[in-house]
Structure 1
Amino acid sequence: MRSTCSLYIDTGYLLASAARRVTGTSLRSGIHVEYRRLIDSLIALVQDQSGLPLLRVHWYDSAHNGVPDYQQQRIGELAKVKLRLGRVGYEGQQKGVDLRIGLDLVTHARNKTSDVFFLVTGDDDLTEAVEEAQVHGVQVVLLAVPVNGDRPHGVSKHLLRAVDDLQVVDGAIIDDAALKVELDAAPAAAVPAPAVPAPKPGPSPRDLATSRPIATPAKAPAPVLAYTSSTGADSYVAAEYQRTPCEETVPEALTPDLIDRIAEQVVNSFLTSSDENAKAALAHSRPSIPRDLDRALLLDACEAIDVYDLPEQARFRLRNRFWDRHDALSAAGR
């Protein structure tokens, strides 16, 4: 059998990293991507680095109910591209994508489909799958997207130790295929002032003399929205159990100024790339933060201080400042 190489692309990582490079934040909606150009360039890259022809590109993404949208269908129709979809969960979380990547790596290695696997991801959850694939005699090379010069974006240290090599994608490949989205802000329509209702007549002296106070049962304190440790997920906490969101220490590197800068970059990217319907939907979701925005906040913070995960108190402060910066930028007409 002829020797070949195969390319495995974690779309969430690729697009978040491309957005980070182009817009300064990991928000995927902030960029427009020429997918054919990007995939063709990555194919040329892996064939040049390995000296082997490409067998296939495996493109991993999530979709509602596992059904591809229009853009995913077009990607799946490209030559040598195999579309592999997970699901989008009830709360917007990605389901099954990492599992599909891991299973494919091990199965393809066992069946010796290619000699060299190129993996575009930074996810720590794939470390064991990479090591299992290597047991079957394949090389696994990690391809990372560069940000801030040649620095690879969002690569887990465990994954880095497991792979056979790390190659940083030429930044020109990303810059040529990913463009920053900037929508023209439409002038806001004038909102008529609300009509002031006529005052209702007050009670007569007879009413006051004969009226008796009616006892009303005390209402239980309303629950408040609280974030769990999972990105963007929310839950309600009974009032009697409310306390400070978390007592964990915020990393010293994550200063208030840095938190403000990260929150402002994410908000600014969203406001400049979103139409009025998307902005209204965000305002309606308050105080919850949509998962894609929340994920961008956490990814950017992790990247800024070079950690893989954040304690709950740091997440709370990022989310709190998100709404502060949203209100400030919206008031400024962004």
Structure 2
Amino acid sequence: MVSQRAIFVDAGFLLAVGGTKVVGTSLRSAFRVDYEKLIEGILRCTEQHSGIDVLRTYWYDASKDALFTDQHKQIGLLPGVKVRLGRISFNGEQKGVDLKLGLDLVGVARNRAASVAYLVSGDDDLAEAVEEAQDLGMKVVLVGVADSGHRLGVMSVAEHLALRVDSIITLPPQLIDSCFTRIVQEAPRPATAPTAPAGHPVPRPVPKPGVPMSKPAVPSRPLHHVPPRSHPAEVSLVYSSGGSGSAIVPEESPMDVAQEVGESVAASWYGSVTQGELVDLLADRPILPVEIDRVLLKDCAQRIGEYKTDLQGVRKALRLAFWQKLDTLI
């Protein structure tokens, strides 16, 4: 087997963890990522650990119909980076990403193209592929984001996966902090096309007839004062692209968490969209687009676990908190 390393990056996992750590939400429109700097940092970290040459970096993400976006093209043009895309389903879930990553991991091991694989992911669905690659003679090292308060030492990694890799290393905290930048503004950006005649103000969006704009029972905090809530040491954040992650959480009210998550996502979303997108959202009120709804559910599940987030009362509280917070901002 050739003595070199291959890097496998689950972008959905990395961006969700990085965004949550720096911005407080996995909503991608709430932050900007310096992908070149991030990938260079991963290369540097893995080189320091192994001291061997790199085969290439595989970057796995999802998009509509598995088509390259401008962002994916920019990443794919970086030296030594190969972008592999799954698709996004109707409900916002990634499809085919784990399968592609697992097949490539086993394929590289079977072809003896690399002796060490560095896996940037936390999804327990990859555990079987890890074991098969190991059976073929490859070492598999998990690369995570440090979390000193967690027993595994990393954020959002399934214990089922952590128990099967050969070792775990962490990316430098300063790398994540420097590569993820909050881009939330005080208010939505002006639409690219005018929504009102020249010289007239853009009309305030109104909800559909018969759907009143509800107000929160208590005053909400200002936009820039909705910080991510720190996680207790016992909390186990587990990422899963298919939504199968779980968390072990001490006594924490699911309804309180739903309120906080709903407000945080609303504030981040409001400050990262255009006026036209805000108008479109309010036109369909109280229905939320699947991409927003999925972020609400995923961010909440990271705090209280999937089984509690599945409760209808919690889901209703999440969506109500989102709308209430939005009403205080528009």
- On whether the aligned pair clears a TM of 0.5, the verdict is yes
Task: Say if 2:91 and 2:291, in contact at 8 Å, map to a contact too.
Answer: no
Matching residue of 2:168: 166
Task: Say if 2:23 and 2:182, in contact at 8 Å, map to a contact too.
Answer: yes
**CA displacement at 1:191 relative to structure 2:** 5.3
User: Residue 96 of structure 1 aligns to which amino acid in structure 2?
Assistant: G
**CA displacement at 1:48 relative to structure 2:** 0.7
User: Residue 127 of structure 1 aligns to which amino acid in structure 2?
Assistant: A
Matching residue of 2:257: 258
Matching residue of 1:28: 28
After superposition, where does 1:29-68 map in structure 2 within 5 Å?
29-68=29-68
Q: Which runs of 5+ in 1 are unaligned?
A: 194-229, 232-249
Taking the aligned partners of 1:153 and 1:109, their CA distance within structure 2 comes to: 27
**CA displacement at 1:133 relative to structure 2:** 0.8
Task: Say if 2:301 and 2:308, in contact at 8 Å, map to a contact too.
Answer: no
**CA displacement at 1:59 relative to structure 2:** 0.4
Task: Say if 1:294 and 1:319, in contact at 8 Å, map to a contact too.
Answer: no
SS class of match (1:78): coil
Task: Say if 2:261 and 2:299, in contact at 8 Å, map to a contact too.
Answer: yes
Task: Say if 1:146 and 1:152, in contact at 8 Å, map to a contact too.
Answer: yes
After superposition, where does 1:105-184 map in structure 2 within 5 Å?
105-146=105-146, 151-184=153-186
Task: Say if 1:181 and 1:273, in contact at 8 Å, map to a contact too.
Answer: yes
Taking the aligned partners of 1:148 and 1:332, their CA distance within structure 2 comes to: 36
Taking the aligned partners of 2:284 and 2:92, their CA distance within structure 1 comes to: 13
SS class of match (2:38): helix
- In structure 2, the CA distance between the partners of 1:290 and 1:125, relative to structure 1 (3 Å rule), is farther
User: Residue 267 of structure 2 aligns to which amino acid in structure 1?
Assistant: N
SS class of match (2:271): helix
**CA displacement at 1:42 relative to structure 2:** 0.8
User: Residue 260 of structure 1 aligns to which amino acid in structure 2?
Assistant: Q
**CA displacement at 1:265 relative to structure 2:** 1.4
TM-score by length of 1: 0.75
Aligned counterpart for 2:307 among listed residues 306, 310, 313: 310
Aligned counterpart for 1:189 among listed residues 158, 179, 202: 202
Q: Which has the higher mean CA deviation after the structures are superposed, 145-154 or 56-65?
A: 145-154
Taking the aligned partners of 1:47 and 1:102, their CA distance within structure 2 comes to: 22
Taking the aligned partners of 1:65 and 1:91, their CA distance within structure 2 comes to: 13
- In structure 2, the CA distance between the partners of 1:130 and 1:291, relative to structure 1 (3 Å rule), is farther
Higher Rg? 1
Taking the aligned partners of 1:95 and 1:55, their CA distance within structure 2 comes to: 26
- In structure 2, the CA distance between the partners of 1:302 and 1:192, relative to structure 1 (3 Å rule), is closer
Taking the aligned partners of 2:205 and 2:81, their CA distance within structure 1 comes to: 53
- In structure 2, the CA distance between the partners of 1:271 and 1:293, relative to structure 1 (3 Å rule), is same
SS class of match (1:273): coil
Matching residue of 2:325: 329
**CA displacement at 1:137 relative to structure 2:** 0.9
Residue-pair matches, total: 277
**CA displacement at 1:298 relative to structure 2:** 2.9
User: Residue 106 of structure 1 aligns to which amino acid in structure 2?
Assistant: V
**CA displacement at 1:259 relative to structure 2:** 1.9
After superposition, where does 1:231-250 map in structure 2 within 5 Å?
none
**CA displacement at 1:251 relative to structure 2:** 9.1
Task: Say if 2:297 and 2:315, in contact at 8 Å, map to a contact too.
Answer: no
- In structure 2, the CA distance between the partners of 1:143 and 1:192, relative to structure 1 (3 Å rule), is closer
Taking the aligned partners of 1:57 and 1:191, their CA distance within structure 2 comes to: 47
Matching residue of 1:289: 288
**CA displacement at 1:263 relative to structure 2:** 1.7
- In structure 2, the CA distance between the partners of 1:155 and 1:291, relative to structure 1 (3 Å rule), is farther
**CA displacement at 1:136 relative to structure 2:** 0.6
SS class of match (1:162): coil
Taking the aligned partners of 1:21 and 1:4, their CA distance within structure 2 comes to: 31
Aligned CA RMSD, in angstroms, stands at 2.7
User: Residue 71 of structure 2 aligns to which amino acid in structure 1?
Assistant: Q
User: Residue 331 of structure 1 aligns to which amino acid in structure 2?
Assistant: D
